Amino acid sequence: MSIIDKIKKSVEEATGLPFYYDTPETLNQRMSGASARRPWAFPCAMLNIVKSGAVTDQNGIMRERLTVEVLFATKSDLDFDGVQVETCEINQMKERAFTWLLALMRSRDLRLASINTTNRYYATDDAIYSAYGVNVTIDEAQGFSPCNLNT
């Protein structure tokens, strides 16, 4: 199972949200055009890789490390009191994010190396989604040792 599959599984099990993964640009394109092909379910979790390709070596065991941002997003109910509505929606998404982070701390498949930043994303005129984003660095719990390799 890939590290992305492990992250997907951990998000879905902890929050019950559908999970989407792609680059930030492609996620935006897919969100806006999703209704034409296949509608996305909201609220949802979306992941993009911020930094990839890192490998850690601990006592000869190699593990993949990713820095990712997971957005917990919902459609916004824009109205005349938009700021208050969005604050409530984002707080609900923040609760889902924290639920996932707590589950990640107990995970047997992944190790939370660090929580780097969090962000609040408010709906704009061209985007009707609000989100709470968590930027984290994650290591695989199990890695590869020389014993795993056939050389």
Instruction: Average the pLDDT over each of 5-9, 32-36, 69-73, 137-141 and give the range with the smallest value.
Output: 32-36
Domain annotation covers residue 78: yes
Residue 30 lies in a domain: yes
Q: Residue 52 is part of a domain; what is its CATH number? A: 3.30.70
Q: Is the pLDDT of residue 38 over 80?
A: no
Q: Check residue 23 and give its pLDDT.
A: 75
Residue 31 has pLDDT above 80, yes or no: no
Cα–Cα distances in angstroms (integers) from residue 44 to residues 14, 16, 39, in the given order: 12, 9, 12
Q: Report CA torsion sign: 122, 123, 126, 127.
A: positive
Number of domains in the chain: 1
Q: Please report, rounded to a whole number, the percentage of residues in the chain having pLDDT higher than 70.
A: 75
* CA dihedral over 88, 20, 1, 50, signed as positive or negative: negative
Give the pLDDT of residue 1.
82
Alpha carbons within 13 A on the beta-carbon side of 82:
12
The answer to whether residue 151 sits within a structural domain is no
Q: Over the stretch 39-67, which tens digit does the pLDDT of each residue have?
A: 678 899 999 888 776 777 667 777 888 99
Mean pLDDT for 1-8 is 91
* Residue 63: inside a domain: yes
- Please state, in angstroms and rounded to a whole number, the distance separating the CA atoms of residues 23 and 142: 26
User: What's the pLDDT at 27?
Assistant: 74
